[in-house]
Structure 1
Amino acid sequence: MRKQITINTDNMICPHFDRVLFSHCLNKVLKGGRGSTKSSVISLQLVMDFLQDPQANVLIMRKVANTIELSVYEQIKWAIYMLHVDSLFEFKKSPYRIVDKRNGTAFYFSGVDDPQKLKSMMIAKGYVRYLWFEELAEFDSWQEVDTVRASFTRKHLPPGAHVVTYYSYNPPKNPYEWINEWVSQRDGMPNWYVDHSTYEDVTLPNILSQDYIDEINTVKQNNYDYYRWMYLGEVIGLGTNIYNMDNFEAIDKLPDDDYITNVYYSVDTGHEVSATTCGAYGLTKKGNLILLDTYYYSPQGKSHKKPPSALSNDLKSFIDKVTEWIGKQPTRMTIDSAEGALDNQFYNDYGIHWHKVNKLKKVDMIDRVQDLLAQGRFYYLKRPENEIFIAEHQKYQWDENTLQSDDPKVIKEDDHTCDMFQYVVRDNERDFGLKW
């Protein structure tokens, strides 16, 4: 006999979401800005719906499998604990499952790295009644999503039961991304409900902290367009200039009221025809990032170009110099994931491998940097070695010929420090307090 559980969710789910949750549409798109609580709302609703059908299973998907644990898996766990039903579940990680101990139905979690594999997925007990595609903008196309979705929506369910699919995401800046065009087509279609929410729709108390609101207001003041995109979920376009240089704050010396806790290094290599550069960055107790020093070698115009062995020696000397100056050993040393020669040379010389960054599309790499900048947390020491860093970022632009595409490109000239900055931010986004 199933236990009756009564929970008052009025203090958990903001009234804004009532219409989409109570809608009878089978496809529910929740888009909007960061901090709108849309993912929390979906997770709470899924747990409540799951508990009302002893044969129901839930399949929750992200584009990449290695993002599951710290996102949707923990999100469903949070909802289960919030609803005080954790004693009913067993939490498993190999593979990721949250199983109802009473009857064996479950929340299943999967990456969609290969959509074809999910088409043949078998559920031993009951049926899949709920689907959730989280961070929908990460997927490559609607066809990729629909390949998985159709595998479950076409299956016969008992009378009165239907497959309900949730989609959630933050809209990309670029109006030509597939998802921005896709959602405009879905809005108003039969059986589709499209909802847009922002942090301003969070009207319940004790949901968003004052620190978070202060952070939003800082971004709003520093970069209003970025605020519109990040927190209001508006499709603002890319423009041509990539960075607001007012967010690069120069300092004459290290702060007296803060101190460096960790030092990070990042390399972009060039070898034969383009420059090799390395940045040394200090993370402070207050969460600020300071460009301490820059190594830059360009082979342009030189008849004898430095081989990997000479660059390896230069980088070791650069790191040793900063280590002696700051008094901190490197926390992480990041390098382009496509680079092999210099990493191998450095390991051969010093027994140390650089960490190869997991690169994303260029627009997503830049988004991470813009997030840090808009929070007013990036500084650089005014010294001759760092002038090249500022000069290259001032000139950094999108290629206008690629802006009306879903994969815009940058102009690949004098962008080496720009790349190495993106690498260090992407490789250490959790250390730097970036919420992606």
Structure 2
Amino acid sequence: MTAKMIKVMDLMNVNFYSLWLAEASHIVAKGGRSSMKSSVISLKLVTDFLEDDQGNVVCLRKVGKYLSTSIYEQIKWAIYMLGVEGEFYFGKSPLIIRHKPTGTAFYFYGVDDPMKIKSAKIAKGYVMALWYEEAAEFAGVEDIDIVEDTFIRQEIEGKEVKVYFSYNPPRNPYSWINEWLDTKVGDEDYFVHHSSYLDDKKGFLSDQMIRKIEKYKENDIDYWRWMYNGEVIGLGDMVYNVNHIREIEELPEDDDIILIDTASDTGHQVSATTHLALALTKKQNVILLDTYYYSPENKANKKAPSELSKELHEWCESVKSEYKKNFDVQTIDSAEGALRNQYFKDYGVRLHPVAKKKKIDMIDNVQDLFAQGRFFVLKTKSNEIFLTEHKKYQWDADTLQSDDPKIIKVDDHTCDAFQYYVNDNLRKLNLKY
């Protein structure tokens, strides 16, 4: 095993040596994106697994659908890096990585419903380690405790179950995981480790990645501090840094439009309806081309879904005509049924309902795009409402000291529509990691 240990140490930066050697039962690895904390944990788990012919490892994420493309691939990577892939069977249905000589395995579970984990069965041996990847995604301490209690209740002679947490700290200091970690200060059962890309002294990260991160630092130092340095920076009152919303007089001559998407937020009788036309360019920039905005406020006769459907169609046709492009994705609020159904009935076009997340997570993705300096607004009369609403977009100060901060829901329709657009096109916008 000595030769393998030397090899493993060559695969990590020096700042992780303390984590590797930590004897505490619970290891908390927090830090910025691209700090390589998940890589080190996966190497540690595979190395320890190979030393225990009765040990199994349970790997967890809050949302099960992300397992196969994240934590499963991370363990698989570690196995290949250690050169022992021939010893394993890699199963996809169900997700499992089984050790051929011993029959023990790496098990992968989504914790969409923590109570379902209680019935999980391990075929042979015992659970030697748990790994909560992206631990900040979990709903709270209850999620963590239900799962942990399920797997640590069995007595293992001469050893304890090792529990790992890895995550990027949320900006909000009152997020449950930030407050939970504060309670572990001085607890001998917990070893807390912080890392960032700046700790990469061995040059594992590519020059391209470093350049990308440094652009964030140039465009928005606070966003960089949070996303890549792993600091808890707080939310502030204003949601967006309006300096990131750059107006342009005309389309750039050296950056052609590849495609156009639309995004809609509707209100009908009680609040405004808005549609955004957004171009993705050859250089991966996003340009707001046009905005439709109708408010029923102070109007005796409100527009019906049939009228709004007709106006949406006319607006869409005008955008297509002007820019000579058909639409790629046409996104709408998933809670909106009236206009979606009416539009399909009238024109045979299915508007795509966005899969909404927690508000703060949807906003984080928008801030990511803004902080990269890739968003522009064509300076037109119709787009002024977009600029006005985004400049006024604020957190509710009364909710900032909570785990679930709220937005002031006033004049926020273009803000919602833009969030729908970004979150419905994450992969296309290179915002999905």
Work out whether 1:255 is the aligned partner of 2:263: no
Match of 1:223 in 2: 220
1:197-346 aligned at under 5 Å gives the runs 197-205=195-203, 207-346=204-343
How many Å separate the matches in 1 of 2:38 and 2:148?
19
Task: Provide the secondary structure at the position in 2 that maps to 1:186.
Answer: coil
Match of 2:345 in 1: 348
Stretches of structure 2 that go unaligned for 5 or more consecutive residues are none
Deviations 1:49-74 (A, max 9, x none): 11221221111111111111221112
Match of 2:391 in 1: 394
How many Å separate the matches in 1 of 2:121 and 2:349?
45
Deviations 1:54-108 (A, max 9, x none): 2211111111111112211121122222222222222222221112223322111
Code of the aligned partner of 1:166: Y
Give TM-score scaled by structure 2 length: 0.96
CA contact (8 A) 2:32 2:226 kept: yes
How many Å separate the matches in 2 of 1:39 and 1:315?
46
CA contact (8 A) 2:4 2:82 kept: no
Work out whether 1:86 is the aligned partner of 2:78: no
Deviation for aligned residue 1:230: 0.9
Stretches of structure 1 that go unaligned for 5 or more consecutive residues are none
Deviation for aligned residue 1:5: 6.4
How many Å separate the matches in 2 of 1:252 and 1:362?
32
Deviations 1:203-257 (A, max 9, x none): 112x212222122221112111111111111111111111111101111222211
1:159-178 aligned at under 5 Å gives the runs 159-178=157-176
Deviation for aligned residue 1:317: 2.0
Work out whether 1:30 is the aligned partner of 2:67: no
Code of the aligned partner of 1:142: V
How many Å separate the matches in 1 of 2:259 and 2:39?
33
How many Å separate the matches in 2 of 1:353 and 1:155?
52
Task: Provide the secondary structure at the position in 1 that maps to 2:428.
Answer: coil
How many Å separate the matches in 2 of 1:101 and 1:244?
53
How many Å separate the matches in 1 of 2:103 and 2:317?
57
How many Å separate the matches in 2 of 1:68 and 1:48?
21
How has the CA–CA distance of structure 1 residues 401 and 70 changed in structure 2, closer, same or farther, with 3 Å as cutoff?
A: same
1:97-176 aligned at under 5 Å gives the runs 97-157=96-156, 159-176=157-174
Deviation for aligned residue 1:7: 6.7
Task: Provide the secondary structure at the position in 2 that maps to 1:45.
Answer: helix
How has the CA–CA distance of structure 1 residues 80 and 329 changed in structure 2, closer, same or farther, with 3 Å as cutoff?
A: farther
Match of 1:428 in 2: 425
Identity of aligned residues (%): 54
Work out whether 1:184 is the aligned partner of 2:182: yes
Task: Give the superposed CA RMSD.
Answer: 1.6
Deviations 1:249-289 (A, max 9, x none): 11122221122222211111100021101111111121111
1:342-421 aligned at under 5 Å gives the runs 342-421=339-418
How many Å separate the matches in 1 of 2:345 and 2:408?
34
Code of the aligned partner of 1:359: K
Moved more, 346-355 or 397-406: 346-355
CA contact (8 A) 2:331 2:421 kept: yes
How many Å separate the matches in 2 of 1:96 and 1:308?
45
Task: Provide the secondary structure at the position in 1 that maps to 2:101.
Answer: coil
Match of 2:69 in 1: 70
Deviation for aligned residue 1:10: 3.1
Give TM-score scaled by structure 1 length: 0.96
Deviation for aligned residue 1:297: 1.1
How many Å separate the matches in 2 of 1:72 and 1:34?
15
- Residue-pair matches, total: 432
How many Å separate the matches in 2 of 1:422 and 1:5?
47
